[in-house]
């Protein structure tokens, strides 16, 4: 299997609800699996990206939101064997117990620092045990487990990136991790397109699982009484799921699904680069165009691989969790290039599309996984379809302007750098606003 096929196949993971609450619950549930006795106290320290993304997002099988409740449910009912779907079997009674533990002051969370590098550390104290469990870099990547002072697991970690501490003071370190070239960055845009054109179809048919998962979440959005944007988007598309208006159809499919995810409806999304919303934006608009024009599944799968790869290319520069909206910017740009592919466009037209996207929505903030993601998805769809429409006519922002690079690879790199290190200060301000809301 080609390394790009392996990269995407490994990265596609179902995630129930917003990824961060699932990851917090997984972290806590895994720590609990090493403990005995009654709970005395649980604290989960996390980087700003984790803290922010879970701050007000919906939680599956609960009417509550936020990182504290996600941690409490992870302790009460999380199943670590289910990974990011660790809260799949939560009951109403579990919610009651979780709230009681919070009210008793037994569950807390803490901001560990301002960083785009995923970090969580659960410290669990019971009447018989003390467990420390650390996760870094990806949402379920356990790097250390210490039980009653004995280290039972410790993985070699990369060097820290430059980051702000919880106090706001910069911790300046040399980042060997940042200097490491990710495998996808060895490819040019033209080489990615060549791979998409030539990879055996059987090798990438696994992407159909993304459509199965995401379409089930979309159907839940249409029938569940808790959604609001989904119904309005349906009305704006003439009451049809698939209409002749490709932009409105795409926006309905994409953003009804995002709404279902961020309010915590009980269906998973297929994540990419660690995010369900990224996975939704990277796929669902393409599905709309595929259905409207009766394109082949092969075209859809190849376009989807390109969308995923462009998304990944940008995200591996920006960091998995940062102050800009990777859903709109990275996944939206990937999806836009996928649209060019579905329309029979050229590599040059994809470069034009990249320039148009880089010059429009780069810098959109991420203020966590919440209902606002729906509006950001609407903006991403609008920008993508407009960018593609211009690019297909040869109309684009020239490479001399703004953050556009001399090559499409430079443009994607620059888009990522705007987030990290470019928006570290913005991340700090967003978290400060959140903490002010708690006072």
Question: What is the pLDDT at residue 157?
Answer: 67
Tokens representing 118 are: 């995923």
Q: 101-128 b/e with 16+ CB inside 10 Å = b?
A: bbeeebbebebbbbbbbbbbbbbbbbee
Domain 17-177: which topology? 60s Ribosomal Protein L30; Chain: A; (3.30.1330)
With bands split at pLDDT 50, 70 and 90, how would you rate the model's confidence at 225? very high
Question: What is the pLDDT at residue 241?
Answer: 98
Q: Could you report the per-residue pLDDT of 332-375, keeping only the tens digit for each? A: 999 999 999 999 999 999 999 999 999 999 999 999 888 999 99
Tokens representing 22 are: 């699932």
pLDDT at residue 198 tops 90: yes
Stretch 208-226: mean pLDDT, rounded?
97
Question: What is the pLDDT at residue 176?
Answer: 35
With bands split at pLDDT 50, 70 and 90, how would you rate the model's confidence at 328? very high
Stretch 240-262: mean pLDDT, rounded?
97
Higher pLDDT, 316 or 319: 316
Cα-Cα-Cα-Cα dihedral of 81, 84, 89, 94, to 10°? Answer: 110
Lowest average pLDDT, out of 173-187, 240-254, 315-329, goes to 173-187
Stretch 292-301: mean pLDDT, rounded?
98
Q: Could you report the per-residue pLDDT of 1-34, keeping only the tens digit for each? A: 999 999 999 999 898 777 889 999 999 999 999 9
Average pLDDT score, the chain: 92
| Cβ atoms 214, 285 nearer than 8 A | no
Q: CA 111, CA 237: separation in Å to the nearest integer? A: 42
Model confidence, pTM: 0.85
Tokens representing 102 are: 């919070």
Stretch 218-227: mean pLDDT, rounded?
97
Instruction: Give domain limits for the chain.
Output: 17-177, 181-438
């Amino acid at each position: 299997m080609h390394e790009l096929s392996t990269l995407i196949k490994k990265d596609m993971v179902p995630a129930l609800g917003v990824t961060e609450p699932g990851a917090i619950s997984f972290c806590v549930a895994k720590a609990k699996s090493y403990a005995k006795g009654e709970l005395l106290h649980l604290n989960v320290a996390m980087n700003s990206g984790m803290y922010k993304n879970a701050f007000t997002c919906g939680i599956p099988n609960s009417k509550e939101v936020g990182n504290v409740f996600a941690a409490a449910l992870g302790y009460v009912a999380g199943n670590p064997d289910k990974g990011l779907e660790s809260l799949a079997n939560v009951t109403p009674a579990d919610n009651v117990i979780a709230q009681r533990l919070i009210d008793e002051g037994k569950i807390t969370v803490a901001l560990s620092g301002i960083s785009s590098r995923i970090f969580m550390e659960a410290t669990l104290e019971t009447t018989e045990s003390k467990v420390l469990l650390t996760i870094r870099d990806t949402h379920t990547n356990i790097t250390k487990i210490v039980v009653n002072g004995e280290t039972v697991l410790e993985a070699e970690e990369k060097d820290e990136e430059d980051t702000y501490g919880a106090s706001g003071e910069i911790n300046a370190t040399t980042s060997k991790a940042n200097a490491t070239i990710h495998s996808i960055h060895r490819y040019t845009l033209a080489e990615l397109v060549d791979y998409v054109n030539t990879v055996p179809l059987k090798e990438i048919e696994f992407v159909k699982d993304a459509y199965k998962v995401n379409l089930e979440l979309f159907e839940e959005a249409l029938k569940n009484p808790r959604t609001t944007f989904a119904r309005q988007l349906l009305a704006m598309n003439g009451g049809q799921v698939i209409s002749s208006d490709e932009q409105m159809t795409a926006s309905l499919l994409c953003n009804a699904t995002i709404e279902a995810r961020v309010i915590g409806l009980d269906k998973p999304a297929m994540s990419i680069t660690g995010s369900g919303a990224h996975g939704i934006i990277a796929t669902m608009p393409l599905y709309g165009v595929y259905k409207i024009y009766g394109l082949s599944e092969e075209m859809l799968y190849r376009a989807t691989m390109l969308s995923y790869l462009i998304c990944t290319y940008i995200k591996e520069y920006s960091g998995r969790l940062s102050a800009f909206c990777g859903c709109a910017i990275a996944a939206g740009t990937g999806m836009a290039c996928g649209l060019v592919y579905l329309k029979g466009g050229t590599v040059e037209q994809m470069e034009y599309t990249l320039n148009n996207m880089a010059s429009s929505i780069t810098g959109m903030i991420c203020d966590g996984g919440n209902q606002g993601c729906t509006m950001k998805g609407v903006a991403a769809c609008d920008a993508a379809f407009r960018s593609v429409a211009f690019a297909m006519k040869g109309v684009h922002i020239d490479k001399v302007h703004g953050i556009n690079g001399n090559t499409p690879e430079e443009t994607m790199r620059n888009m990522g750098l705007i987030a990290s290190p470019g928006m570290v200060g913005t991340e700090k301000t967003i978290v400060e606003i959140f903490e002010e809301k708690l006072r």
